[in-house]
Structure 1
Amino acid sequence: MTRTRLATALAALGAVAAIAFGGYQLWQSHRLDERDDLRAAYIDTAKDGILRLTTVRSSSADADVKRLLAITSGDFRTQFASRTESYSKVVKDAAVTSKGTIISVGVERFDDDTATLLVAAHSEITNKGTTAPETRDYRFRVVVTNGDPQTISKVDFVL
Protein backbone atom coordinates (compact mmCIF):
# COMPACT_ATOMS: atom_id res chain seq x y z
CA MET A 1 0.00 0.00 0.00
CA THR A 2 1.43 3.35 -0.95
CA ARG A 3 1.71 6.25 1.41
CA THR A 4 -0.97 8.15 -0.46
CA ARG A 5 -3.43 5.29 -0.16
CA LEU A 6 -2.55 4.80 3.50
CA ALA A 7 -3.06 8.51 4.21
CA THR A 8 -6.38 8.47 2.33
CA ALA A 9 -7.54 5.36 4.22
CA LEU A 10 -6.53 6.87 7.57
CA ALA A 11 -8.30 10.14 6.70
CA ALA A 12 -11.47 8.25 5.72
CA LEU A 13 -11.29 6.19 8.91
CA GLY A 14 -10.85 9.40 10.93
CA ALA A 15 -13.85 10.99 9.22
CA VAL A 16 -16.02 7.94 9.91
CA ALA A 17 -14.90 7.93 13.57
CA ALA A 18 -15.65 11.66 13.89
CA ILE A 19 -19.13 11.21 12.37
CA ALA A 20 -19.83 8.22 14.65
CA PHE A 21 -18.63 10.12 17.72
CA GLY A 22 -20.74 13.13 16.75
CA GLY A 23 -23.77 10.89 16.29
CA TYR A 24 -23.16 9.30 19.68
CA GLN A 25 -22.92 12.72 21.34
CA LEU A 26 -26.13 13.85 19.66
CA TRP A 27 -27.92 10.68 20.82
CA GLN A 28 -26.56 11.12 24.35
CA SER A 29 -27.64 14.77 24.40
CA HIS A 30 -31.15 13.82 23.23
CA ARG A 31 -31.32 11.13 25.91
CA LEU A 32 -30.31 13.65 28.60
CA ASP A 33 -32.94 16.11 27.33
CA GLU A 34 -35.60 13.38 27.66
CA ARG A 35 -34.46 12.64 31.25
CA ASP A 36 -34.58 16.36 32.09
CA ASP A 37 -38.09 16.62 30.62
CA LEU A 38 -39.27 13.59 32.64
CA ARG A 39 -37.74 15.01 35.83
CA ALA A 40 -39.45 18.37 35.21
CA ALA A 41 -42.80 16.62 34.60
CA TYR A 42 -42.47 14.74 37.90
CA ILE A 43 -41.75 18.02 39.70
CA ASP A 44 -44.74 19.74 38.07
CA THR A 45 -47.07 16.89 39.03
CA ALA A 46 -45.85 16.86 42.65
CA LYS A 47 -46.29 20.63 42.92
CA ASP A 48 -49.75 20.50 41.38
CA GLY A 49 -50.84 17.66 43.66
CA ILE A 50 -49.63 19.34 46.83
CA LEU A 51 -51.24 22.63 45.82
CA ARG A 52 -54.52 20.77 45.32
CA LEU A 53 -54.07 19.11 48.72
CA THR A 54 -53.30 22.35 50.59
CA THR A 55 -55.78 24.62 48.82
CA VAL A 56 -59.43 24.15 49.72
CA ARG A 57 -62.44 26.41 50.28
CA SER A 58 -65.71 25.68 52.02
CA SER A 59 -67.55 27.25 49.08
CA SER A 60 -65.95 24.82 46.61
CA ALA A 61 -65.03 21.84 48.82
CA ASP A 62 -66.68 19.18 46.65
CA ALA A 63 -65.03 20.51 43.48
CA ASP A 64 -61.68 20.88 45.29
CA VAL A 65 -61.87 17.23 46.37
CA LYS A 66 -62.68 16.13 42.82
CA ARG A 67 -59.72 18.13 41.47
CA LEU A 68 -57.43 16.37 43.94
CA LEU A 69 -58.86 12.93 43.16
CA ALA A 70 -58.31 13.56 39.45
CA ILE A 71 -54.55 13.61 39.95
CA THR A 72 -54.31 10.64 42.35
CA SER A 73 -53.83 6.90 42.00
CA GLY A 74 -52.85 3.86 44.02
CA ASP A 75 -52.90 3.81 47.81
CA PHE A 76 -53.27 7.56 48.14
CA ARG A 77 -56.37 7.60 45.96
CA THR A 78 -57.88 4.64 47.80
CA GLN A 79 -57.31 6.19 51.21
CA PHE A 80 -58.42 9.69 50.25
CA ALA A 81 -61.44 8.58 48.21
CA SER A 82 -62.82 6.67 51.19
CA ARG A 83 -62.87 9.89 53.23
CA THR A 84 -64.00 12.51 50.72
CA GLU A 85 -67.52 12.94 52.09
CA SER A 86 -66.40 13.45 55.69
CA TYR A 87 -63.54 15.69 54.54
CA SER A 88 -65.86 17.92 52.51
CA LYS A 89 -68.35 18.07 55.38
CA VAL A 90 -65.69 19.20 57.87
CA VAL A 91 -64.39 21.84 55.46
CA LYS A 92 -67.90 23.17 54.85
CA ASP A 93 -69.06 23.04 58.49
CA ALA A 94 -65.95 24.83 59.74
CA ALA A 95 -65.96 27.37 56.87
CA VAL A 96 -62.34 26.49 56.06
CA THR A 97 -60.33 28.43 53.54
CA SER A 98 -56.80 27.21 52.95
CA LYS A 99 -54.42 28.69 50.36
CA GLY A 100 -51.33 26.61 49.69
CA THR A 101 -48.05 27.67 48.12
CA ILE A 102 -45.03 25.61 47.18
CA ILE A 103 -41.77 26.61 48.86
CA SER A 104 -39.42 24.12 47.21
CA VAL A 105 -39.22 20.69 45.61
CA GLY A 106 -36.35 18.24 45.61
CA VAL A 107 -36.11 15.00 43.65
CA GLU A 108 -35.04 12.13 45.86
CA ARG A 109 -34.97 9.61 43.01
CA PHE A 110 -36.68 8.96 39.70
CA ASP A 111 -36.80 6.49 36.86
CA ASP A 112 -39.08 5.90 33.89
CA ASP A 113 -41.91 4.58 36.10
CA THR A 114 -41.95 6.59 39.34
CA ALA A 115 -40.35 9.44 41.22
CA THR A 116 -40.01 10.20 44.91
CA LEU A 117 -39.89 13.92 45.69
CA LEU A 118 -39.70 16.05 48.81
CA VAL A 119 -42.05 19.03 48.73
CA ALA A 120 -42.04 21.92 51.18
CA ALA A 121 -45.33 23.82 51.25
CA HIS A 122 -46.87 26.72 53.14
CA SER A 123 -50.54 27.26 53.82
CA GLU A 124 -52.64 30.10 55.22
CA ILE A 125 -55.80 28.81 56.85
CA THR A 126 -58.92 30.54 58.13
CA ASN A 127 -62.05 29.02 59.61
CA LYS A 128 -65.01 29.94 61.83
CA GLY A 129 -62.84 30.05 64.93
CA THR A 130 -60.08 32.34 63.64
CA THR A 131 -59.89 36.09 63.34
CA ALA A 132 -56.67 36.09 61.33
CA PRO A 133 -55.12 33.52 59.00
CA GLU A 134 -53.05 30.81 60.68
CA THR A 135 -49.94 29.71 58.86
CA ARG A 136 -48.77 26.15 58.53
CA ASP A 137 -45.63 24.77 56.98
CA TYR A 138 -45.51 21.22 55.69
CA ARG A 139 -42.96 18.83 54.29
CA PHE A 140 -44.24 15.96 52.20
CA ARG A 141 -42.63 12.93 50.59
CA VAL A 142 -44.58 12.43 47.37
CA VAL A 143 -44.50 9.45 45.03
CA VAL A 144 -45.50 10.28 41.45
CA THR A 145 -46.39 7.46 39.07
CA ASN A 146 -45.61 8.02 35.41
CA GLY A 147 -48.46 7.60 32.98
CA ASP A 148 -50.87 9.56 30.89
CA PRO A 149 -51.42 11.56 33.02
CA GLN A 150 -48.87 11.31 35.79
CA THR A 151 -50.51 10.83 39.19
CA ILE A 152 -49.75 11.17 42.88
CA SER A 153 -49.78 7.63 44.27
CA LYS A 154 -48.46 8.25 47.78
CA VAL A 155 -48.12 11.22 50.14
CA ASP A 156 -46.45 11.12 53.55
CA PHE A 157 -45.80 13.91 56.02
CA VAL A 158 -42.10 14.34 56.80
CA LEU A 159 -41.01 15.72 60.16
Structure 2
Amino acid sequence: MQLTDTQKLDFIKEGNDICPICLDSSIERAEPDFGDLNVSQECQCSHCFAEWQSDYALAAIKLLGPGKLNIKALSPLQEDRYMNHAQACVICQYDNFDGTGLGLNCDEFITSGTKGHMDVSCPCCNASWRDQFILEDITIIDAGKYAPVVGDSE
Protein backbone atom coordinates (compact mmCIF):
# COMPACT_ATOMS: atom_id res chain seq x y z
CA MET A 1 0.00 0.00 0.00
CA GLN A 2 1.35 3.39 -0.98
CA LEU A 3 0.10 6.85 -0.13
CA THR A 4 -1.20 9.11 -2.85
CA ASP A 5 0.77 12.28 -3.52
CA THR A 6 -1.96 14.27 -1.73
CA GLN A 7 -1.78 12.00 1.34
CA LYS A 8 2.02 12.33 1.38
CA LEU A 9 1.86 16.11 1.15
CA ASP A 10 -0.76 16.26 3.91
CA PHE A 11 1.37 14.06 6.16
CA ILE A 12 4.52 16.09 5.47
CA LYS A 13 2.58 19.31 6.14
CA GLU A 14 1.08 17.97 9.39
CA GLY A 15 4.24 16.33 10.62
CA ASN A 16 5.51 13.04 11.90
CA ASP A 17 3.46 13.04 15.11
CA ILE A 18 0.62 10.88 13.76
CA CYS A 19 0.34 7.63 11.84
CA PRO A 20 -0.14 8.25 8.10
CA ILE A 21 -2.49 5.24 7.88
CA CYS A 22 -4.85 5.49 10.88
CA LEU A 23 -3.94 9.00 12.19
CA ASP A 24 -3.27 7.68 15.72
CA SER A 25 -0.61 9.49 17.75
CA SER A 26 0.98 6.50 19.53
CA ILE A 27 4.19 6.29 17.51
CA GLU A 28 7.36 4.33 18.26
CA ARG A 29 10.54 5.56 16.58
CA ALA A 30 13.68 3.54 15.83
CA GLU A 31 17.19 4.96 16.14
CA PRO A 32 17.75 7.45 13.31
CA ASP A 33 20.08 6.70 10.41
CA PHE A 34 22.34 9.68 9.66
CA GLY A 35 23.67 10.70 6.26
CA ASP A 36 25.77 13.77 5.55
CA LEU A 37 22.81 16.08 4.93
CA ASN A 38 19.82 13.95 5.89
CA VAL A 39 18.35 11.74 8.56
CA SER A 40 15.95 8.85 8.06
CA GLN A 41 13.98 7.24 10.83
CA GLU A 42 11.70 4.22 10.79
CA CYS A 43 8.48 4.59 12.74
CA GLN A 44 5.72 2.22 13.79
CA CYS A 45 2.16 2.90 14.92
CA SER A 46 1.23 1.13 18.16
CA HIS A 47 -2.43 1.11 17.10
CA CYS A 48 -2.48 -0.28 13.55
CA PHE A 49 1.13 -1.56 13.38
CA ALA A 50 1.86 0.36 10.19
CA GLU A 51 5.54 1.03 9.54
CA TRP A 52 7.05 3.89 7.57
CA GLN A 53 10.29 5.73 7.06
CA SER A 54 10.43 9.48 7.56
CA ASP A 55 13.18 11.33 5.70
CA TYR A 56 14.49 14.66 6.96
CA ALA A 57 16.83 17.05 5.12
CA LEU A 58 19.25 19.52 6.72
CA ALA A 59 17.58 22.92 6.39
CA ALA A 60 19.59 25.28 8.63
CA ILE A 61 22.19 25.56 11.35
CA LYS A 62 22.18 27.74 14.44
CA LEU A 63 25.27 28.61 16.47
CA LEU A 64 24.72 27.77 20.15
CA GLY A 65 28.16 28.35 21.69
CA PRO A 66 31.19 30.27 20.37
CA GLY A 67 33.84 27.86 21.65
CA LYS A 68 37.54 28.69 22.13
CA LEU A 69 37.64 30.94 19.06
CA ASN A 70 34.83 33.09 20.51
CA ILE A 71 32.92 33.26 17.21
CA LYS A 72 29.66 35.14 17.83
CA ALA A 73 27.97 34.49 14.47
CA LEU A 74 28.49 32.29 11.44
CA SER A 75 29.58 33.89 8.19
CA PRO A 76 27.67 33.10 4.98
CA LEU A 77 30.73 31.12 3.80
CA GLN A 78 30.75 28.99 6.98
CA GLU A 79 27.03 28.31 6.68
CA ASP A 80 27.23 27.50 2.98
CA ARG A 81 30.21 25.17 3.41
CA TYR A 82 28.48 23.28 6.23
CA MET A 83 25.14 23.10 4.40
CA ASN A 84 26.93 21.46 1.46
CA HIS A 85 28.60 18.62 3.37
CA ALA A 86 28.02 18.83 7.17
CA GLN A 87 31.01 16.58 7.86
CA ALA A 88 33.34 19.02 9.62
CA CYS A 89 33.09 21.60 12.39
CA VAL A 90 31.26 24.67 11.16
CA ILE A 91 33.85 26.92 12.88
CA CYS A 92 37.32 25.31 12.69
CA GLN A 93 36.67 22.67 9.97
CA TYR A 94 37.90 19.86 12.24
CA ASP A 95 36.80 16.59 10.64
CA ASN A 96 38.87 13.71 12.09
CA PHE A 97 39.06 12.07 8.66
CA ASP A 98 42.29 10.31 9.66
CA GLY A 99 40.46 8.61 12.55
CA THR A 100 43.08 9.46 15.17
CA GLY A 101 40.97 11.81 17.27
CA LEU A 102 37.42 12.21 18.44
CA GLY A 103 34.65 12.87 15.96
CA LEU A 104 32.03 15.58 16.33
CA ASN A 105 29.79 15.09 19.37
CA CYS A 106 26.17 14.63 18.32
CA ASP A 107 23.27 14.65 20.77
CA GLU A 108 19.94 12.90 20.31
CA PHE A 109 17.90 13.57 17.17
CA ILE A 110 14.60 15.10 18.34
CA THR A 111 11.51 15.44 16.16
CA SER A 112 8.42 17.58 16.56
CA GLY A 113 5.87 17.88 13.80
CA THR A 114 7.60 18.59 10.50
CA LYS A 115 10.94 19.48 12.08
CA GLY A 116 13.85 17.73 13.71
CA HIS A 117 17.03 18.93 15.33
CA MET A 118 20.26 17.68 16.80
CA ASP A 119 22.83 19.58 18.84
CA VAL A 120 26.45 19.10 17.73
CA SER A 121 29.74 20.17 19.32
CA CYS A 122 33.37 20.09 18.25
CA PRO A 123 35.99 18.48 20.54
CA CYS A 124 38.70 20.63 18.95
CA CYS A 125 37.39 24.21 19.30
CA ASN A 126 34.45 23.52 21.69
CA ALA A 127 31.96 25.35 19.45
CA SER A 128 28.40 24.04 19.51
CA TRP A 129 25.55 24.40 17.04
CA ARG A 130 22.16 22.96 16.21
CA ASP A 131 21.49 21.10 12.97
CA GLN A 132 17.88 21.86 12.00
CA PHE A 133 16.05 19.42 9.74
CA ILE A 134 12.73 19.47 7.92
CA LEU A 135 10.53 16.48 7.03
CA GLU A 136 10.95 15.95 3.31
CA ASP A 137 9.48 12.55 2.43
CA ILE A 138 7.76 9.45 3.77
CA THR A 139 7.83 5.86 2.53
CA ILE A 140 5.30 3.28 3.71
CA ILE A 141 7.07 0.03 4.61
CA ASP A 142 4.02 -1.89 5.88
CA ALA A 143 0.42 -0.68 6.07
CA GLY A 144 -0.21 -2.78 9.16
CA LYS A 145 -3.62 -4.22 9.94
CA TYR A 146 -5.29 -1.94 7.37
CA ALA A 147 -3.24 -3.32 4.48
CA PRO A 148 -5.35 -4.83 1.71
CA VAL A 149 -5.38 -8.63 1.82
CA VAL A 150 -3.96 -10.31 -1.28
CA GLY A 151 -6.88 -11.58 -3.35
CA ASP A 152 -9.36 -8.95 -2.10
CA SER A 153 -11.43 -7.49 -4.89
CA GLU A 154 -11.10 -3.98 -3.41
- By the TM > 0.5 criterion, same fold? no
- Structure showing greater relative contact order (alpha-carbon pairs closer than 8 Å, 6 or more residues apart): 2
More helix by share: 1
Please report the TM-score for the alignment, with normalisation by the length of structure 2. 0.30
Structure number with greater Rg is 1
